[in-house]
Structure 1
Amino acid sequence: MLQTISSVTAEKAEKYQDMLGKHFARKVSVETNTHQSVVYFPMGTCRISSEGSKLHFQCEAETADALAAIQSIIDRHIPLLKAIRDTQLVWTETP
């Protein structure tokens, strides 16, 4: 399983995590609790979590192409979040 992570500082990190979870739930399955939303895309998953003023993304997929597709989806949705709309996520591979 391939995995990448990224994070961004956002004063409303918990609110944004909740907003993104609800947004994605319109199209795909999402499990949400207070500090995490797990989004089940057809090509893999993305865990969106909040901790204080940090919004974290952890994406997993079987192939590099699938992982890139998930990252692209997340990257396209960041501009929808007003306070961090100009932020570019930097994705880091994890072992």
Structure 2
Amino acid sequence: MFKLTGTFATQNGPKYLQQLCKHFAHKIDVTHSDTEGTCSFPMGQAVLKADDAGLTIRFELKDQDAVDPARNVIDSHLERFAFRENFKHMTWSA
């Protein structure tokens, strides 16, 4: 397992969590509440947590080759959802 964590400081964390989970639920297994979610991507599982200070996403990936696809799937969707905040990418750490 390879672990990857992304953070995005925003007052709209719960809003973006809901948008991501509802969007991904059309293609993968997703469970979510207002402040927590789990997304089962082919490259691994993501656990999302949000509050008024931000959004955190923790991936448990199958291997290191899944790091870039994991980052890209989140960053590309948040770039569309959080465009008013000039979002470009989360702060990622392994």
TM over 0.5: yes
Q: Is the deviation greater in 81-90 or in 34-43?
A: 81-90
Q: Percent identity?
A: 24
Letter in 2 for 1:22: K
Change (3 A) 1:67 1:60: farther
1:21 is matched with 21
The residue matched to 1:91 in structure 2 has which SS?
Answer: strand
Give 5+ residue unaligned stretches, structure 1. none
Question: How has the CA–CA distance of structure 1 residues 13 and 83 changed in structure 2, closer, same or farther, with 3 Å as cutoff?
Answer: farther
Who is 2:69 aligned against? 69
Q: Tell me the equivalent position of 2:11.
A: 11
In structure 1, the partner of 2:79 is 79
Distance 1:50 1:57 in 2: 9
Secondary structure of the 2:84 match is helix
Counterpart secondary structure, 2:90: coil
Q: TM-score, normalised by structure 2?
A: 0.87
State the match for 2:47 in structure 1: 47
Q: Whole-Å Cα distance in 2 between the matches of residues 5 and 62 of structure 1?
A: 14
Shift of 1:85: 4.0
* Structure 2 alignment gaps of length 5 or more: none
What TM-score, normalized by structure 1, do the two folds share? 0.86
Please provide the CA RMSD for this pair: 1.4
Query: In structure 1, what residue type is equivalent to 2:8?
Result: V
